């Protein structure tokens, strides 16, 4: 059914009400807390509604994995579409088969052996499992990126492999959908992290590995990509060794390059939270005056919780006394200060995992979060960001309420696809606005499914307006 909407932001955009930032805990019905695993938001049906994936060791160290349904904001474990339980696990998402829908890849121990399971999205909220030929690991990480610039999702895996050896392997996906090991000499490790970044600003995906290496010491190595998936260590990158790490990448000081945040045990086996500033050429300097609490065995997140274009810092993990903690720090032009109220609201967890996306379609970022609390109880938590709520006034712009305009992937890295139900387009156009009402990009739509590449823009929320066959459709897209 058609309805008429005006989106007031100077002229025709979403008008937000500012509520003052707070977070509210919501329950996942039948959700099980986990440690030694990961959590992830995922838009399984390209409808901008975020479901979730959970994996890890649940009570009694059971091997656990589940999908979480999102029904108008109510979260519940999917009892129909089952995933194989794995512990000591890691997971990621990517469009592995190129159909425009996010798939899931997961590694861990299933009670019998280490596995790497690829769950292909069936576009209806269900997934088909394929046991891949990749070597599964425990106590490591699995991440996906296009390492050789062929528009196919590749995979990097670290951790303890099936022979009990520390490992680090890159698999390049070929046109047949097979994953082939790419010869590289990478730092084998476990209890570390994989940081995907373009530290030298050359357009290729580089990799930072942290973890406990074959010399049984905390280590960190930064590898530059030649564009074909061949990596060479940059020995002058400036990173200090660390394990039990969490990491994140963002341009925290808005100078046009990617900086790195890391929590973990340093080479003195002490907890430390590191912020490394990039000089723009892939050389990093550890900043020693930051106010961050020193944590390990947890997470490190750059996240724009208040949508002001600056990245806050959220960290979780254990402190020097092995107490589970969490902290949120506000960013004011690169200067960080503790937000005590939110830090007190969000439960301190360690052996933890976090994922931040807009699960309730109000444009701000919400948190799903797992780990051990201060009583060594496994937790799975969702915290709803109550910064913004959209308001609508009924006037003159025609739009439809049945999802005729779909944007995916969403969030994106600046490239997304507009998908329309109409097969015949007559004078179809689109316009992308930022939240100030400035036009970022506009052009004609030539097909019912068209890729859009934004110019270099800041992370945040953008509004996409499409006029097709005399009707106007409006959706938001988030740029990470």
Calculate ∠ Cα 50-53-59, nearest 5°.
140
The pLDDT value recorded for residue 204 is 93
88 phi, psi to nearest 5 deg:
50, 45
Q: Are 312 and 331 in contact (CB under 8 A)?
A: yes
pLDDT of residue 386: 87
Cα–Cα–Cα angle for 94, 99, 105, nearest 5°?
Answer: 25
How do residues 106-132 score in pLDDT, each as one tens digit?
Answer: 999 999 999 999 999 999 999 999 999
pLDDT digits (tens, 9 = 90+) for 295-324: 999 999 999 998 888 899 999 999 999 999
Does the pLDDT of residue 6 top 50, yes or no? Answer: no
What is the four-CA torsion angle of 235, 241, 247, 252, rounded to 10 degrees? -60
Quick one: pLDDT band at residue 141, thresholds 50, 70, 90?
very high
Render pLDDT for 236-245 as a digit per residue (tens, 0 to 9).
999 999 999 9
**What would the DSSP string read from start to end of 317-348?**
EE-TT--EEEEEEEEETTEEEE-HHHHHHSPP
**Confidence (pLDDT) at 20:** 58
Percent of the chain with pLDDT over 90: 72
Q: What percent of the chain has pLDDT over 70?
A: 91
Backbone phi, then psi, for 342, in 5-degree steps? Answer: -70, -35
Separation of CA 263 from chain center: 17
In sequence order, what are the beta bridge partners of 264? Answer: 272
Of the listed ranges 202-206, 258-262, 269-273, 444-448, the least confidently predicted one is 444-448
Spatial contact of 52 and 40, defined as CB atoms under 8 Å apart: yes
Summarize the confidence of residues 332-340 as an average pLDDT: 94
* 3-class SS shares of the chain: helix, strand, coil, % to 5: 0, 55, 45
User: 273 vs 115, 147, 210, 264, CA distance in Å?
Assistant: 32, 28, 13, 7
Q: CB pairs under 8 A, 24+ apart, for 457-462?
A: 457/414, 458/254, 458/309, 459/250, 459/304, 459/309, 459/311, 460/304, 460/307, 460/309, 460/434, 460/435, 461/307, 461/363, 461/435, 462/432, 462/433, 462/434, 462/435
Q: Is 61 helix (H, G, I), strand (E, B) or coil?
A: helix
Q: Could you give the CA distance from residue 422 to residue 20 in angstroms, rounded to a whole number? A: 40
Contact 311, 302 (CB under 8 A): yes
Please, which residues bridge with residue 383 across strands?
Answer: 25, 367
Euclidean distance between CA atoms 455 and 479, whole angstroms: 11
Task: Kindly indicate the confidence band of residue 85, based on its pLDDT and cuts at 50, 70 and 90.
Answer: very high
**What is the pLDDT, as a whole number, of residue 308?**
83
Average pLDDT estimate for 346-375 = 94
Report how far residue 108's alpha carbon sits from residue 327's, in angstroms, rounded to the nearest whole number.
29
Across the chain, mean pLDDT equals 89
DSSP 238: -
The pLDDT, as a whole number, for residue 180 is 97
Distance between alpha carbon 8 and the CA centroid of its chain, in Å?
A: 30
pLDDT at 388: 59
Q: Retrieve residue 132's tokens.
A: 């891949």
- Give whichever of 62-76, 355-369, 394-408, 444-458 has the largest mean pLDDT: 62-76
CB-based contacts of 475, cutoff 8 Å, min separation 6: 48, 405, 406, 407, 463, 464
Q: How confident is the model at residue 12 (pLDDT cuts 50, 70, 90)?
A: very low
Supply the pLDDT for residue 132: 95
* The pLDDT of residue 469: 78
Is 103 a residue whose pLDDT tops 50? yes
Of 134-143, 257-266, 290-299, 449-458, the poorest mean pLDDT is in 449-458
Contacts of 376 (CB under 8 A, 6+ apart): none
């Amino acid at each position: 059914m058609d309805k008429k909407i005006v989106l007031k932001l100077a002229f025709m955009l979403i008008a937000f009400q500012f509520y003052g930032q707070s977070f509210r805990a919501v329950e996942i019905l039948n959700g099980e807390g986990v440690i030694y695993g990961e959590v992830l938001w995922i838009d399984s049906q390209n409808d901008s509604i975020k479901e979730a994936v959970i994996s890890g060791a649940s009570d009694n160290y059971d091997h656990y994995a589940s999908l979480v349904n999102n029904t108008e904001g109510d979260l519940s474990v999917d009892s129909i579409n089952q995933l194989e339980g794995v512990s000591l696990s890691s997971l990621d998402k990517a469009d592995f088969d190129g159909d425009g829908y996010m798939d899931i890849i997961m590694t861990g121990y299933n009670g019998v052996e280490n596995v790497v399971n690829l769950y292909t999205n069936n576009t209806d909220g269900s997934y088909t499992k394929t046991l891949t030929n990749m070597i599964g690991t425990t106590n490591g990480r699995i991440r996906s990126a296009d390492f050789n610039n062929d528009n196919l999702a590749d995979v990097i895996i670290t951790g303890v492999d099936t022979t009990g050896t520390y490992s680090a392997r890159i698999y390049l996906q070929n046109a047949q959908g097979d994953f082939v090991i790419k010869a590289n000499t990478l730092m084998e490790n476990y209890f570390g992290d994989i940081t995907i970044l373009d530290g030298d600003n050359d357009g290729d995906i580089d990799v930072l590995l942290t973890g406990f290496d074959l010399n049984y010491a905390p280590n960190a190595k930064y590898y530059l990509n030649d564009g074909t998936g061949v990596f060479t260590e940059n020995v002058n990158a400036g990173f200090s060794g660390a394990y039990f790490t969490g990491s994140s990448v963002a341009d925290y000081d808005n100078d046009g390059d990617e900086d790195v945040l890391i929590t973990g045990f340093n080479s003195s086996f002490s907890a430390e939270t590191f912020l490394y500033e990039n000089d723009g050429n892939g050389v990093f300097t550890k900043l020693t005056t930051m106010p961050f609490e020193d944590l390990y065995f947890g997470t490190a997140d750059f996240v724009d919780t208040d949508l002001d274009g600056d990245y806050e810092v959220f960290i979780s993990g254990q402190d020097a006394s092995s107490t589970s903690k969490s902290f949120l720090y506000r960013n004011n032009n690169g200067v960080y200060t503790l937000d005590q109220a939110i830090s007190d609201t969000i439960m301190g967890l360690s052996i933890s995992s976090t994922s931040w996306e807009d699960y309730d379609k109000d444009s701000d970022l919400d948190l799903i979060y797992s780990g051990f609390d201060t009583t060594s109880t496994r937790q799975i938590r969702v915290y709803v960001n109550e910064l913004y709520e959209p308001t609508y006034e009924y006037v003159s712009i025609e739009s439809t309420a049945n999802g005729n305009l779909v944007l995916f992937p969403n969030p994106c890295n600046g490239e997304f696809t507009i998908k329309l139900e109409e097969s015949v387009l007559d004078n179809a156009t689109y316009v992308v606005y930022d939240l100030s009402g400035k036009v970022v990009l506009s052009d004609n739509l030539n097909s019912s499914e068209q890729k859009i590449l934004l110019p270099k823009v800041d992370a945040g929320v953008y509004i996409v307006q499409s006029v097709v066959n005399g009707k106007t459709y409006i959706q938001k897209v988030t740029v990470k």
